Amino acid sequence: MNTKTQVGIIGAGPSGLLLSHLLHLENIDSVILEARDRQYVEERVRAGVLEQGTVDLLCETGLGERLQREGIVHHGIELRFDGHGHRIALSDLSGGRSIWIYGQQEVVKDIIDTRLAAGGKIHFEADNVNLSGIDSTQPALTYRKDNQDHAVTCDFIAGCDGFHGVSRDSIPAGVLRTYHHVYPFGWLGILAAVEPSTEELIYAYHERGFALHSLRSPEISRLYIQVDPDEDISNWPDDRIWEELSLRLATEDDWTLKTGPVLEKGITPMRSFVVEPMQYGRLYLAGDAAHIVPATGAKGLNLAVHDVHKLAEALIAWYREGSDKLLEQYSDRCLGRVWRVQDFSSFMSLMLHRFSEDDGFKGRLQRAQLKYVCSSEAAARSLAENYVGLPHYGKYT
């Protein structure tokens, strides 16, 4: 079957879904093609920290109802090392901004519900998605669904298909410059049915490796430990994970880690990745299709939201005013923030993880850094303003 739309979107992650919603608010038609089924997309456990700016955008565009009811506002985080915790007062140090705890898959569910209720077109289980004519004014997407071939002709294509998607690879060789750094560790993450042992997130530096205590709700905890990047999850029965978490999060006072049934577990590699530019012809890349940040800064989702906000503004200007200025500037308007966030995520990662070679010098530098951030207001303020999200960073000047 052949159909037409204004913007063809590949991927129903946060990037593709939010883009489709923002365009819809301006009566711009889009079609989303998603390789997976709806349940998979809605249940995939990812990060859960939303910057103030992300929350503001979701609320201003009608996506904040459940977020405001169920999201948990946090005004600080804890850095824990050498058996002691040190609070970084995020809101006090950043002019009153804060972060919200709300799982990425909850954001995804909210946008899917809203799009479908408004008649939005999301084609799940679309196989063999292929892009053509991206350097023409009529690019097209083809795909296979329910044993039938389909084609969608578009004005523009948004590649929102994540790190492993097809859109980036459909750009001719030689156009993109790729920056890639793989960290020598991964994170083993668990979701557990247990009341969090902390009110605020704890980032722990420990000689056995990094640990993070996060949460999702008063009944659900989310925790991570640093492991080798090629670690086999079968080496980590639940008891061993809890034991390791208890060791790495231990303090000199009587703090104890509450344990409970593990609902989900998995290992994620840590990498930094950026392509420049984030566009070619009529194809625009957004979110993980264009960049990945290590999870230590809690920025992946927030960066994706920033991209699609800029892309929606640019497409709206093209349809409303016939101006291609913002489309031409799309990549530049995004990359300023992308690199700021890469730097912050790298800073957090290098400060908090154990490196195999760090038997001396590196470990001393990490401790010096941690002590500085926990004792100097200037250093803490820098961490805080980055963590809650720099409000206007990346604006085109």
Interface contacts to ligand APR, rule CB under 6 A? 10-16, 33-36, 41, 46-47, 104, 126, 129, 160-162, 164-166, 287-288, 300-301, 304
In this complex, which beta carbon is closest to ligand APR, that of residue 130 or of residue 376? 130
Please choose, out of 45-53, 234-242, 281-289, 389-397, the segment that lies near ligand PHB by the rule CB under 6 A. 45-53
Rounded CA gap, 222 and 264, in Å?
10
Cis peptide before 277 (omega within 30 of 0): yes
Q: Does 80 bind ligand PHB (CB under 6 A)?
A: no
Q: Does 14 bind ligand PHB (CB under 6 A)?
A: no
> What is each CA distance from 355 to 183, 207, 325, 351, 365, in whole angstroms?
9, 10, 45, 10, 12
Q: Does 190 bind ligand PHB (CB under 6 A)?
A: no
Q: Does 303 bind ligand PHB (CB under 6 A)?
A: no
The string of DSSP codes covering 241-272 is: HHHHHHHHH--SSS-------EEEEEEEEEEE
In this complex, which beta carbon is closest to ligand PHB, that of residue 222 or of residue 291? 222
C-beta of 61: minimal distance to ligand APR in Å? Answer: 16
Q: Are strands 211-215 and 221-227 parallel, antiparallel or unpaired?
A: antiparallel
Q: CA dihedral in degrees (312, 277, 15, 390; nearest 10)?
A: -80
In this complex, which beta carbon is closest to ligand APR, that of residue 144 or of residue 362? 144
Give the neighbor-by-neighbor strand order of the sheet with 49-51. 49-51, 99-101, 72-74
> What is each CA distance from 158 to 180, 248, 289, in whole angstroms?
22, 42, 10
Q: Does 48 bind ligand PHB (CB under 6 A)?
A: yes
Q: Which one of ligand APR, ligand PHB, none interacts with residue 296, CB within 5 to 8 A by kind?
A: ligand PHB
- Rounded to 5 degrees, φ, ψ at 49 are -110, 120
Q: Which one of ligand APR, ligand PHB, none interacts with residue 186, CB within 5 to 8 A by kind?
A: none
Q: Does 49 bind ligand PHB (CB under 6 A)?
A: yes
Q: Which residues of the shown chain bind ligand PHB in the complex (CB under 6 A)?
A: 47-49, 201, 212, 214, 222, 295-296, 298
